[in-house]
Amino acid sequence: MTATLAVLISGNGSNLQAIIDAIAGGRLDARIAVVVSNRKDAFGLIRAERAGIPTRYHPLKPYRDQGKGRCEYDGDLAALLAEFRPDWIVLAGWMHIFSNAFLDHFPHRVVNLHPALPGQFPGARAIEDALAAFHRGEIRETGVMVHLVPDERVDEGPVLATRTIPIRADDTLERLSTRIHAVEHVLLVETLQGLIKKVSNENTGEGD
């Protein structure tokens, strides 16, 4: 059965593009019902529009300006997404931490991509942090993970897939980022397809 995705972005959207391309290429049994960005100038919004996917801009600032908190922001975002009845909510470069006001609406259905291995370098600067740790002699490799988001912890939760990526002595931030993104584009699609297939098999009783 074709799964319905809501994809949340904050920036370039290269991982969103990987999902769009995988669907078009028949490698991902899904449709993207909506792309949401918390940043108006996110290039991912243009990628979505080019692919004919509905987009929504959901900024935090108006909530802050009205003295409202994250919970109200998250509650409204959950309501916005619920209208599209997503099977999976995919955080593809979404730089915003969710409260339970959001997560309680979608238990076991929020999937996050993060450019580091489990337990390492949470937050928005994971690749920079890994490179700095490499230069301090603390690590020789970093990686990518896809995981479920069960609670408010940042870049943590049940791990669905990981890939290790060696760091090279001559790596710049740009070079390492390029290699990491290339791995992400494959891993995110494969992991989503695995989840979709698993749920589909469970529903049809296959694999029992």
In the complex, which residues of this chain contact ligand GAR (CB under 6 A)? 9, 11-15, 44, 92-93, 113-115, 124, 126, 155, 181, 184
Distance CA 130, CA 133 (A): 5
Among residues 121, 108, 130, 127, the alpha carbon closest in space to that of 154 is found at 121
d(Cα 23, Cα 47) in Å, to the nearest integer? 14
Catalytic residue among 114, 135, 147, 185: 114
Number of Cα atoms under 13 Å in the Cβ half of residue 203: 9
Instruction: Name the residue nearer to ligand GAR (CB basis): 3 or 126.
Output: 126
Of 25 and 207, the one with the shorter C-beta distance to ligand GAR is 25
Compute the least distance from the CB of residue 9 to ligand GAR, in Å: 6
**CB 185 → ligand GAR: shortest distance, Å?**
8
**Angle at the Cα of 97 from the Cα atoms of 96 and 103, rounded to 5 degrees:** 120
Kindly tell me which of 58 and 114 has the beta carbon lying closer to ligand GAR: 114
Tell me whether residue 114 is one of the annotated catalytic residues: yes
Shortest distance, position 94 Cβ to ligand GAR, whole Å: 7
Residues 6+ away with beta carbon under 8 Å from 174 = none
Active-site amino acid positions? 114
